[in-house]
Structure 1
Amino acid sequence: MKSNKILNILIAAIALIGGFLFIRVFMEDTDAIETDVDVANSVVSPLIYYSTYLFYAAVIITIGLSLISLVRNPENLKKTLGGLAILGVLLLVAYFLSDSEAVYNAAGEIESGGEEGSAVNKWVGTGIWYSVILGGIASLFFVWDLLKGLVKS
């Protein structure tokens, strides 16, 4: 019960600080924020930094709690590592399917950073193929589930 009260106080404090920073932005003139760098830095920057730090904290806490949960339950750890291994194999397949050919713009010129053999091109192609493979697998499971539902009814 006590930890719940502490959590509520922490949430309220975070919300109050965020609300205060947000209201400070609206108290300033829009033109002044857009034209005067000092005003923008004094009003908008603290809100952005606060939001960024909250995001980092949320990510770190989420990953930390997930890891603690996995360590406490070895059976889930085995399932998670198996799933990650399968995703790794699919990533390798996507990597070998991708190419690193030159990327041309509408004028027929090679884009900056899109030269043939570029590592960026290879990884972008890998990401595209990875999405296609995972989307195909998801589609198969969707159709399978749909067919199972039709057979049961």
Structure 2
Amino acid sequence: MNNKILTLLVAAISLIGIALFVNVVRIDPEETQALSDAVSPLVSYSYYLLIVIVIVAVVISLLSMFKNPAALKKTLLGILALGVVFVVSYFMASDSEVIGADGGQLVAAGSISKWVGSGIRFTIVLGAIAGAFFVVDLLKGIVKS
């Protein structure tokens, strides 16, 4: 029964999206106001659909984790490890001013540049860890064959 309801729900969502898309396609590209009026509902529909999907996915994931304590423990350890990596990245980041290619100041010294630097360093560290695991897995595959 749930499969039929889900199939009907997906079909209805798809038909609404197709109808909104056809509404945009049928308008002459030269009529900018009419085109803007037709695109606006499609963008709003997509935006709200994305919000609903994210909420449903997060709620289902949380319910699944709480039903399985071992998975909850692994998830919390993973989040803790990411938190530690981010804290280290934050303390490694500089809060000096950001200078553009033309020599002009893009961002003044302070918290914004510190957070951006933290995000960049966090990404670099996670990329390095992922690269290391990739190389280790590659070497394991070579040794096994």
Query: By the TM > 0.5 criterion, same fold?
Result: yes
Instruction: Give the aligned partner of residue 73 of structure 1.
Output: 68
Identity of aligned residues (%): 46
Deviation sequence 1:22-80 (CA, Å, 0-9, x none): 001111111112xx2xx244311100000001101110010010000001001100000
Q: Distance in 1 between matches of 2:5 and 2:112?
A: 47
Q: Deviations over 1:100-119 (max 9, x none)?
A: 111112221111xx0012x1
Equivalent residue, structure 2, for 1:116: 109
* Residue in structure 1 matched with residue 28 of structure 2 by the alignment: 29
Counterpart in the other structure of 1:145: 137
> Does residue 55 of structure 2 align to residue 60 of structure 1?
yes
1:107, 1:146 → 2: CA distance? 43
Structure 1 residue ranges without an equivalent (≥5): none
- Whole-angstrom CA distance in 2 between matches of 1:19 and 1:48: 13
- Contact 2:95–2:114 under 8 Å retained in 1: yes
Q: Please say if 1:11 is aligned against 2:10.
A: yes
Aligned counterpart, 2:95: 100
Give the 4+ runs in structure 1 shifted more than 3 A.
none
Matched residues in 1 for 2:15 and 2:105: separation? 51
Residue type at the aligned position of 1:62: A
CA deviation profile, 1:118-144 (whole Å, cap 9, x unmatched): x11111100111011111111111111
CA distance in 1, matches of 2:18, 2:135: 46
The residue number in structure 1 matching 2:39 is 44
CA RMSD of aligned residues (A): 1.1
Structure 2 contact 27–35 (Cα < 8 Å) conserved: no
